[in-house]
């Protein structure tokens, strides 16, 4: 639902679609959105025991897709955080969310390379939770804006 209601508009390269806040940063926004969508969609295939057992080669290939999406998505997220005009708290929040995304995913990769399967699963769960963190931030911003608890201008920055 999040992809259809919030993300797809960023595939239309106009100032109207991006709004004045994001249009100057389209080079950070678009790769970030694409990578987040890839990570959100690839993630569930990493967690299904049935799919993993039946399609082990796909599981191994899709993990690279997931990790590459996170790497580039987090880099773009860091770029967005550093160019944000909201406030310092918001900038730090976005910056460290991107760092947490990288660290959790990196730890998952390190664990699987060391054949520590259980720790790998735990780090992958953490990584996917961080992948969804901003989706939940956006959801609550929309709810709070609707309830008039948050200014619409601030919600647009999310």
Query: How many whole angstroms separate alpha carbon 123 and alpha carbon 129?
Result: 10
Neighbours of 157 (CB within 10 A): 16
Q: Is 138 exposed, middle or buried (0-12, 13-18, 19+ CB in 10 A)?
A: middle
Q: Is the pLDDT of residue 84 over 70?
A: yes
Instruction: Calculate what percentage of the chain has a pLDDT beyond 90.
Output: 47
Residue 155: predicted pLDDT: 47
Task: State how many domains the chain has.
Answer: 1
CA distance linking residue 10 with residue 48, whole number of Å? 30
Angle (CA) 2-132-67 rounded to 5° is 110
Q: What's the pLDDT at 42? A: 84
Say what the pLDDT of residue 114 is.
96
Condensed to tens digits (0 to 9), the pLDDT of residues 88-110 reads 988 999 999 999 999 999 999 99
Tokens 């580039």 belong to residue: 72
Domain extent for 146: 2-157
Q: Is the pLDDT of residue 134 over 90?
A: no
* Alpha helices in 1-151, H assignment, sequence order: 2, 15-22, 26-47, 49-54, 56-82, 88-113, 117-146
Rg of the chain over CA atoms, in angstroms? 17
What average pLDDT does the segment 17-39 reach? 92
| Structure confidence at residue 41 (pLDDT) | 86
Whether the full predicted model's pTM is greater than 0.75, yes or no, is yes
Burial 62-85 (b: 16+ CB within 10 A, else e): bbeebbebbbbbbbbbbbbbeebe
Looking at residue 23, the DSSP 8-state letter turns out to be G
Distance CA 72, CA 35 (A): 7
pLDDT in tens, 5-23: 778 889 999 999 888 888 9
């Amino acid at each position: 639902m999040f992809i259809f209601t919030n993300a797809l508009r960023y595939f239309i390269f106009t100032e109207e679609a991006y709004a004045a806040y994001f249009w100057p940063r389209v080079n950070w926004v678009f790769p970030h959105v694409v990578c987040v969508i890839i990570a959100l969609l690839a993630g569930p295939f990493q967690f299904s025991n049935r799919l993993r057992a039946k399609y082990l080669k796909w599981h191994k290939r899709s993990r690279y897709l997931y990790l590459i999406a996170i790497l580039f998505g987090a880099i773009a997220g860091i770029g967005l955080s550093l160019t944000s005009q909201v406030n310092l708290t918001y900038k730090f929040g976005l910056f460290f969310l991107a760092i947490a995304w990288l660290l959790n995913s990196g730890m998952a990769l390190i664990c699987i390379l060391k054949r520590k399967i259980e720790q790998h699963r735990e780090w992958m769960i953490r990584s996917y939770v961080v992948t969804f963190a901003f989706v939940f931030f956006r959801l609550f911003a929309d709810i709070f804006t609707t309830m008039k608890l948050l200014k619409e201008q601030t919600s647009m920055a999310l």
